[in-house]
Amino acid sequence: MDKPPLRRLDEWRWEIAPAGAMRVPGIIYASEKLLAGLGSDEAPRQVANVACLPGIVRASLAMPDMHWGYGFPIGGVAAFDMDEGIVSPGGVGYDINCGCRLMTTHLGLAEIRGRLPDLVTALFQGIPSGVGSRGPLKLSGKEQLQLLREGAAWMVRKGFGDAADLEMTEDGGVMAGADPEQVSDRALARGKDQLGTLGSGNHFLEIEAVDEIFDPTAAAAFGLEIGQICVMIHSGSRGLGYQICDDYLARMVKHSDETGIPLPDRQLACARLASPRGKAYLSAMACAANYAWANRQLLMHRTREIFQKALRMGPRELSMRLLYDVCHNIAKVETLPVNGRDVRLCVHRKGATRAFGPGHAALPAAYRKAGQPVLIPGDMGTGSYVLTGTKRAYQETFGSACHGAGRVMSRAQAVKACRGRSIPRELAEKGIVVMASGRGTLLEEFPGAYKDLEAVVEVVHGAGIAKKAARLRSLGCIKG
């Protein structure tokens, strides 16, 4: 399929009208500026391709951070009917339940300003990062299987956190239906030693300060104040999730002719939700999701310990509290409104996060009036936004919003663009301390490789699918 034509619906939305094998329209959330910046990116064509899949409901969606991905665009959202619909590993992604976790503290800028380099160094030395890094926790085979079923709750049960952490984690940090029997020995082996590791690429741990508050009521509900020190963790299911995706993609591609589903792109290989293969993937994916939640729980626990030791503070004085953990790269069965009635759907969010509005029963009681915290980090020189989910998102986007700024350069292009530059020095001139396992990561992840975070958030806010609550600026960052 050639690059599809776009028709403007309003200031923030563009439509790809159904054509050829498309069963529903494509809807892209973007401003003119962001759309112009796509250039030759294939993401709009991928939006149209997803619209060809059986059982898709209402529309194939793309958030303003969208860019080319495997099969589905990154930033893609699609919901499928449970009877006729499909599940596609390409619609979830390789890093299953890659997600963000934001913690608040009782610290202010003045309390860490002179100690920031030492604090970043302590975090970099204490939290394993980079390709192939190994974590501090060694699991027996039995313990690993328990963790895959229980998720973050297993970590809390072992003393790495407390019940309050689970309350502030999406779905309590566990996805039902996880079955380790559906996970290959290769995936289990890859995940065995990686708990408590950050990973590489765009994964990070960042110290941030609350810089601006847009919605005082929501900010108060979330416990955010101007000048407050926060920590954002971005990581996922590591090698275990990658291998699960790889295993099931290979299986679905091999058997794609048996399904009778015509595919505009073999990367959209899938299985019917009701089929044994579809059910097996969902059970394995749930294991990876639970592993990712457990991983972020352990990363947070280690971060608390490192802050306390580096700053010589007790737990109460530091008071590092989980504001929220939200996942992206997931397929979840949720009950959502379609044509005036509630319907069970399998929602694929690839590079997109849940954004449920006020009053939703899935939210912690403390947040039900404000709405779900939506975490949108930018690049390592920009900071992050905290927004609130809306009832409009529940009606329009299957309760979804974007997950970050989104790349505008490939990693190879970014390295080329940085030739002769010192990214750590450039960031230091802005008051940001950054450390990484390798120079290559900083070149691949330099700020210019990503879209303008302000422009991305403005679309989400303007379209009403999430509303700005607070902005956080970067102070220090560690990467793999």
Active-site residues, by number, are: 403
Q: CA 306 to CA 316: how far, in whole Å?
A: 14
Which pairs from 184-190 meet CB under 8 Å and 24+ separation? Answer: 184/243, 184/244, 184/247, 186/243, 186/247, 187/239, 187/240, 187/243, 187/244, 187/247, 187/284, 187/288, 188/141, 188/144, 188/240, 190/238, 190/239, 190/240, 190/242, 190/243
- Strands 204-213 vs 466-479: parallel, antiparallel or unpaired: antiparallel
Two tokens, residue 126? 């204490």
With residues binned 3-state (H G I as helix, E B as strand, rest as coil), the percentages for the chain, rounded to 5, are: 40, 25, 35
Q: CA 48 to CA 35: how far, in whole Å?
A: 16
Q: How far is residue 3 from each of residues 43, 102, 109, measured CA to CA in Å?
A: 9, 38, 48
Q: How far is residue 361 from each of residues 126, 349, 368, 388, measured CA to CA in Å?
A: 38, 20, 8, 15
Q: Are 227 and 111 in contact (CB under 8 A)?
A: no
- Strands 373-377 vs 384-389: parallel, antiparallel or unpaired: antiparallel
Q: CA 378 to CA 402: how far, in whole Å?
A: 11
Handedness of CA 71, 324, 394, 176 (dihedral sign): positive
Q: CA 414 to CA 446: how far, in whole Å?
A: 7
The SS3 call for residue 423 is helix
Q: How many CB atoms lie within 10 A of CB 150?
A: 18
CA atoms within 13 A on the CB side of 373: 32
Of the candidates 238, 282, 234, 272, the residue with the CA atom closest to the CA atom of residue 92: 282
Q: CA 181 to CA 352: how far, in whole Å?
A: 28
* Rg of the chain taking only CA atoms, in angstroms: 21
Query: Where does 201-269 have alpha helices with state H?
Result: 216-222, 238-254, 256-259
Strand partners, 342: 337
Q: CA 444 to CA 94: how far, in whole Å?
A: 19
Please give the single-letter amino acid code of residue 438.
Answer: G
